[in-house]
């Protein structure tokens, strides 16, 4: 029997949390609700969620702090939920490690769709086989494996959220090809992202913090256009 995927719902408004839980349960997800930020890390240990739906406005420890704490320990994807619609708030959430951001009030069907999309991209326990088509790009001192969502840089495993890894893999799969921010949004996120094209810039910044320029390759900015994975010959 296939076990249900687990979603941790973090919202101080229990009515909203229960409604979200209802929709997710109908889609065969297992859910757990916590109403404050301090309860999240203990829930991570006991519940081991595959995804976190995280409200920003929480009593005590707010969603930004929670996101920072979770991301320091886990690579589980996070979708932030907030009534705040300013670009600054969205970008801040992304910079702290969130994978997506939805404004309240949101359509329940869209929330479920986004949750499913994130989980499809995230495989914490991939089923590998000898006949499986392994999607892997390798350069000197860098290996990006999209089949098991792993990155090895300078001999060490690097933890990163799904979208960061997918962005790195996509760029590295087409060396020296320039992609616009709009093209990257379309390829990686698959819809017109609510955080506009700065979403791409935030993820590139996070990638550069983890994957430094190499003598033979680097992530290059093409000013006024976008980015490319630049490979030097020789």
Residue entry with tokens 């619609």: 85
Choose among 119, 71, 126: nearest CA to 94.
71
Domain 6-121 belongs in CATH node 2.60.40.10: no
The correct CATH number of 136-231 out of 1.20.930.40, 2.160.20.60, 1.10.10.10, 1.10.510.10 is 1.10.10.10
In the prediction, which pLDDT does 147 show?
A: 80
Residue spans per domain, the chain: 6-121, 136-231
Tens digit of pLDDT at every position of the chain (234 positions)? 457 899 999 999 999 999 999 999 998 899 999 999 999 999 999 999 999 999 998 988 899 999 988 887 887 889 998 877 666 677 777 777 788 888 888 888 888 888 888 887 765 334 333 334 568 888 889 999 888 888 999 989 998 888 899 999 999 999 999 999 888 888 887 755 555 678 889 999 999 999 999 988 999 999 988 999 999 864
DSSP three-state, residue 18: helix
Q: What is the pTM of this model?
A: 0.59
In the prediction, which pLDDT does 122 show?
A: 67
- Is 175 exposed, middle or buried, given 0-12, 13-18 or 19+ CB atoms closer than 10 A? middle
In the prediction, which pLDDT does 212 show?
A: 92
In the prediction, which pLDDT does 234 show?
A: 47
CA distance 223 to 229: 14
In angstroms, how far is CA 29 from the centroid of its own chain? 19
CB contact burial 115-148 (16+ within 10 A = b; e otherwise): bebbbebbbeeeeeeeeeeeeebeeebbbbbbee
């Amino acid at each position: 029997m296939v076990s249900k995927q687990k979603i941790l719902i973090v919202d101080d408004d229990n009515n909203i949390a229960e409604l979200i839980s209802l929709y997710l349960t109908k889609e065969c997800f297992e859910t757990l609700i916590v109403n404050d930020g301090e309860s999240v890390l203990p829930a991570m240990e006991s519940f081991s969620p595959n995804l976190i739906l995280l409200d920003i406005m929480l009593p005590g420890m707010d969603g930004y702090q929670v996101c920072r704490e979770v991301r320091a320990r886990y690579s589980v994807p996070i979708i932030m939920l907030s009534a705040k619609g300013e670009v600054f708030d969205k970008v801040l959430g992304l910079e702290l490690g969130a994978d997506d951001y939805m404004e309240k009030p949101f359509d329940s069907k869209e929330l479920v769709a986004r949750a499913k999309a994130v989980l499809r991209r995230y495989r914490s326990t991939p089923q590998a086989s000898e006949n499986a088509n392994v999607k892997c790009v390798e350069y000197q001192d860098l290996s990006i494996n999209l089949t098991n969502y792993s990155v090895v840089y300078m001999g060490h495993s690097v933890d990163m959220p799904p979208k960061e890894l997918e962005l790195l893999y996509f760029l590295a799969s087409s060396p020296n090809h320039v992609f616009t921010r709009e093209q990257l949004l379309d390829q990686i996120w698959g819809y017109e992202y609510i955080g506009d094209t700065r979403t791409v810039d935030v993820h590139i910044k996070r990638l550069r913090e983890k994957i430094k320029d190499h003598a033979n390759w680097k992530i290059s900015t093409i000013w006024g256009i976008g980015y490319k994975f630049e490979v030097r010959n020789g």
